[in-house]
Homo-oligomer: A and B are copies of this chain.
Amino acid sequence: MPAHVAAPSPRSRIARVPRRGVYDRATIDAILDESLVAHVGFAVDQQPYVIPMLVARIDDRVYVHGSTASRTVRKLAAGVPACLTTTLIDGVVLARSAFHHSMNYRSVVVLGTAALVEGADERATALEAFTEKLLPGRWAEVRTPNERELKGTRVLAMDLAEASAKVRDGGPADDEDDYGLDVWAGVVPLEMRAGAPLPDERLRAGIEPSAAVAGWAAGRR
């Protein structure tokens, strides 16, 4: 079980089903590190937008990135309030009543403001982290970014100071009267799994998947 840690701010506190709220960094970091995609929210003229983006964490910050031409990136870089949320789905919870059906999940919500990362070192470390997030060990195998590519890419960071997690696990919690019903109840686990690597149609003859590619895909099958 995660350690008991208080919410970092009133607005980060899990209000609904508070026992599912988790605020320790080990739990938060593990969820962020397993999540490929974050849903990042920001508002333009009162209208919120929620955009999926690749996410990577380094120490106390989460990073997203995009093209210099991206509206999402330009809006976030302007320093508007933002919310970055990731959700891992772990299973479908089948109760004896429709009402108590649920999902097992682990989610993290990060509140704050995104900041444009300007330092060359932090930018380079973040770009490496994005590639490594997609596939551990990949950065060392590929051509690293050139000047033009670096110029066309913006990296944004949010601090984890106002982060919270919410976790549901375990079986259904039925009403006492319903345990006598003649209904199967339990959990169907769900997990993101990898298929066999599919070579690019222009892959040169004789190039096999590296150990990093083959091993990662096999480990997730």
B-binding residues in A (CB < 8 A): 11, 15-16, 36-37, 39-43, 46-52, 54, 66-67, 69-72, 81-85, 87, 89, 91-99, 101, 103, 105, 107, 109, 111, 127-128, 130-131, 134-135, 138-139, 141-146, 149, 153, 171-172, 174, 178-204, 207-210, 213, 216-217, 220
A49 touches B39 (CB 8 A): no
Number of copies of this chain in the oligomer? 2
* Nearest CB in chain B: distance from A80 CB, A: 8
Closest 7 CB pairs of A and B: A39-B39, A189-B195, A41-B48, A41-B41, A41-B50, A50-B85, A52-B87
Partner of A101, one of B52, B130, B199, B220: B130
A47, A84, A103: most-surrounded residue (chain B CB, <10 A): A47
A185 touches B200 (CB 8 A): yes
For this complex, 9 residue pairs linking A to B, each with C-beta atoms less than 8 Å apart, are A16-B66, A48-B48, A48-B82, A50-B85, A98-B144, A143-B178, A171-B198, A171-B200, A188-B198
Known: A50-B40, A83-B47. A95 touches B142 (CB 8 A): yes
Q: Which residues of B contact A93 (CB under 8 A)?
A: 134
